[in-house]
Amino acid sequence: MEIGEKLFKFELKGTKGRKYDKFTFADRTALVIVITCNHCPYARAYWNRLIKLHNQYEEDNLGIIAINSNDAEQYPADSFDAMKDLANQLKLPFPYLHDEDQSMAKKLGATRTPEVFVFNSKRELVYKGAIDDNWENEYMVTRVYLEDALEYTLDGMEPDYTELPAVGCSVKWKK
């Protein structure tokens, strides 16, 4: 997806047993879609940061959706059952969805886990890429790319930068 493009239709099953689509968070001022997974050390390093962001901006009308698109046959740690276990373990306050056919990741143009896509109130893509500049240590972060993009988007403005390369494991595509 290119910056400015509208979010496409989708429907994915979540770890809580319900289905989610592009209209689930229609009332939110901004929507973050995170392509992530269970097994990647980069993705694991960001789970708590995403929960903190959700808690920090929920009152500002932010919606977050985490999506696992990895091939569970190659990576059993990314199976739907393992996703349910992780969601319960972390007490995720936002949906964790299974993109079994990988269509969501492909349409977004995701290549890494984690990789974020920020949509404004019109569901136009306004930012994609990295969450911050230090995956290994959240206390050593100096640039909060996603948080900056959210501040602008929630205030109805365009982020200063719209695209920064995501750092993480590659999406594990089906053969």
How far apart CA 136 and CA 70 sit, in angstroms, is 22
pLDDT at 171: 98
Number of H helices, E strands in the chain: 4, 10
How far apart CA 78 and CA 83 sit, in angstroms, is 6
This prediction has a pTM of 0.97
The pLDDT tens digits of the residues spanning 85-117 come to 999 999 999 999 999 999 999 999 999 999 999
Angle in degrees, CA 153, 155, 157, rounded to 5: 60
The domains found in the chain, sorted by start residue, are 27-170 (3.40.30.10)
Residue among 116, 140, 143 at smallest CA distance from 130? 116
pLDDT at 91: 97
Q: Is 85 helix (H, G, I), strand (E, B) or coil?
A: helix
Scan for tokens 């909060």, then name that residue: 144
The pLDDT tens digits of the residues spanning 18-40 come to 999 999 999 999 999 999 999 99
Tokens for 42? 């980069």
Tokens for 16? 């809580």
| Residue 129 Rama label (left phi>0; alpha psi -120 to 50; beta) | left
Please spell the DSSP secondary structure of 143-171, one letter per residue.
--HHHHHHHHHHTT---S--EE---SEEP
Q: How large a percentage of the chain has pLDDT more than 90?
A: 100
Mean pLDDT of 110-134: 98
| Mean pLDDT estimate for the chain | 97
The pLDDT tens digits of the residues spanning 55-78 come to 999 999 999 999 999 999 999 999
Cis before 114 (ω within 30)? yes
pLDDT at 48: 97
